[in-house]
A = this chain, B = another copy of it.
Amino acid sequence: MTQLTKNIPRVVIVGGGFGGLNAAKALANSPVKVIIIDRANYHLFQPLLYQVATASLSAEQITAPIRGILNTQKNTEVLMTSVNAVDTNARIVHTDNGEIPYDYLILATGATYSFFGHDEWKKYAHGLKTIEDALEVRSKILAAYEFAELAKTEDEKNAWLTFVIVGGGPTGVEMSGQIAEMAHTTLKRDFKHINPSKTRVTIVEAGERILSSFHPSLSEKASKYLKDFGVEILNNTPVIDMDAFGVTLKDGLRIPSRTVIWAAGNSASPAGNWIGAEMDKAGRVKVTPSLTVPGHDNIYVIGDTASLAQDGKQLPGVAQVAMQMGVYSARCIRAHVNNQNPPPPFRYFNKGDMAAVGRKFAVYDVEKLETPSGKRITGPIRIAGITAWLMWLTIHITFLIDYANRIFVLLSWMNSYFTNQRSARLIPSKVKEESLPNQNCSLKTSSDP
């Protein structure tokens, strides 16, 4: 038990993602008691989630127990439970396991995917936000080849070998590159009745180009790389309908496909509703430049749950923003507790955006590199190719939490790189039974001699 007295302020952090975890760490030596709450027992390194979904990494390699990360922080307690409501008057967080009073509250609950009003698509299109999502997508993709192998008609076979990716942002691009790569390398020799290299991967993008948050020249280069690799890109093509057998695009164009991956829209977690705050269309809480909620200067909202503009542009829902917001909110609380002046308004220090398009090919884009105080150093810097890929690799390894994970991820990548094998080609039967549509095919093979 920690020796705390009644006078020590309590900081409750909801969410153990990039934002919440960095807030907790930044409060390690502050005169506060920190309580971090998460539904899960682990921190997830979300930028590599797509590699779990494509059998390159295991879930264990990109997660680390929150307790383990924070167990040397004497003033910090970790609780695995779910938050249901917040009473801002009584300053109490209501959880599945009782009430938790707070003096300061940091809401870092992240985002989920949004189907733009088409919630009926949820059962056909698979999003990629949680470990469970990733494992389900992995099972879907691997099982699609098994079902293709068993299919009795060419049409069925082709529908199983067609993967539609809705949304051409970094996740959509990364998924398409990985599926194409797996089809052309890992699975090449594994089947008798299908040719995995005939896999069709299509990115369906409603906007006019993929990677729209990057400079057009990088979108162009990424598109060229993907097309050379066999990935089809349909720009200006909104999805208008989908079912278990395919998607319908504008103009009624139909792509028969048994596997649809949703990489299109995000919507914030319901934290805004808990505190009755004003939210934007995507459900994010509109925060002050100090990341507090208007009217509640002891409540911070950070990361994907926060809506804030900088230099006239909405800050993106990326790990970097969440991490910096976490550290900033901790700084504000520390200043307040110590009766010091509050720090200047939050300013996102953008070190650049990256997307790994394929093996040995990534894009890196930064409009301008600036000092933390906002002074321009250089820019723009725009790179596409192997240099950006090596940068991507170094940064992702470095930022992985837990040194063992770093070694395992690096070794998995080396193994994939040199042998074309993937270390996580597992379809756990539970996932399979729950999530795969009933398929109706017979063993053409069996009657062969």
Looking at the complex, which one of B33, B192, B429 makes contact with A2 (CB distance below 8 Å)? B192
> From residue 317 to 370 of chain A, which have CB atoms closer than 8 A to chain B?
none
Given A99-B446, A100-B446, A192-B2, A404:B426 Cβ within 8 A: no
Given A97-B443, A449-B4, A426:B131 Cβ within 8 A: yes
> From residue 218 to 235 of chain A, which have CB atoms closer than 8 A to chain B?
none
Looking at the complex, which one of B59, B97, B132, B192 makes contact with A441 (CB distance below 8 Å)? B97
Given A58-B60, A150-B81, A189-B71, A99:B425 Cβ within 8 A: no
A429:B39 contact, CB within 8 angstroms: yes
Query: How many angstroms between the C-alpha atoms of A59 and B59 in the bound complex?
Result: 10
List, in ascending order, chain B residues with CB within 8 A of A391's CB: none
B192:A429 contact, CB within 8 angstroms: no
> From residue 407 to 449 of chain A, which have CB atoms closer than 8 A to chain B?
407-408, 411-412, 415, 419, 421, 423-430, 441-449
Per-residue CB contact flags for chain A residues 92-133 toward chain B (1 = under 8 Å, else 0) read 000101111100000000000000000000000000001110
Oligomer copy total: 2
List, in ascending order, chain B residues with CB within 8 A of A58's CB: 58-61
A79:B445 contact, CB within 8 angstroms: yes
Classify the interface of chain A: helix, strand, loop or mixed. mixed
List, in ascending order, chain B residues with CB within 8 A of A81's CB: 150, 443
Looking at the complex, which one of B426, B444, B449 makes contact with A8 (CB distance below 8 Å)? B449
In the complex formed, the residue of B with least CB distance to A77 is: B192
Given A39-B429, A67-B191, A60:B132 Cβ within 8 A: no
- Output the least CB separation between A217 and chain B (Å): 38
A419:B404 contact, CB within 8 angstroms: yes
List, in ascending order, chain B residues with CB within 8 A of A424's CB: 60
List, in ascending order, chain B residues with CB within 8 A of A405's CB: 423
Query: How many angstroms between the C-alpha atoms of A190 and B99 in the bound complex?
Result: 22
B426:A79 contact, CB within 8 angstroms: no
A310: Cβ under 8 A from any B Cβ? no
Looking at the complex, which one of B1, B98, B426, B444 makes contact with A41 (CB distance below 8 Å)? B426
List, in ascending order, chain B residues with CB within 8 A of A78's CB: 190
A149: Cβ under 8 A from any B Cβ? yes
> From residue 272 to 327 of chain A, which have CB atoms closer than 8 A to chain B?
none
| Among A41, A97, A131, A142, residue most surrounded by chain B Cβ atoms (within 10 Å) | A97
Given A79-B443, A190-B71, A6:B449 Cβ within 8 A: yes
> From residue 175 to 202 of chain A, which have CB atoms closer than 8 A to chain B?
189-193
Looking at the complex, which one of B40, B68, B412 makes contact with A421 (CB distance below 8 Å)? B68
B41:A142 contact, CB within 8 angstroms: yes
Query: How many angstroms between the C-alpha atoms of A424 and B350 in the bound complex?
Result: 33
A249: Cβ under 8 A from any B Cβ? no
> From residue 370 to 424 of chain A, which have CB atoms closer than 8 A to chain B?
404-405, 407-408, 411-412, 415, 419, 421, 423-424
B101:A446 contact, CB within 8 angstroms: yes
B59:A132 contact, CB within 8 angstroms: no
List, in ascending order, chain B residues with CB within 8 A of A192's CB: 1-2, 77
A42: Cβ under 8 A from any B Cβ? yes
Given A191-B67, A429-B130, A97:B442 Cβ within 8 A: yes
What 5 pairs across the A-B complex have the smallest Cβ distances?
A98-B442, A98-B443, A100-B446, A58-B60, A67-B190
Interface residues in chain A, defined as those with a beta carbon under 8 Å from any beta carbon in chain B: 1-2, 4-8, 33, 35, 39-42, 58-61, 63-65, 67-68, 71-72, 77-81, 95, 97-101, 130-132, 135, 142-143, 146, 149-150, 189-193, 404-405, 407-408, 411-412, 415, 419, 421, 423-430, 441-449
6 contacts across the A-B interface (CB closer than 8 A) = A42-B425, A58-B60, A64-B425, A67-B191, A79-B443, A404-B415
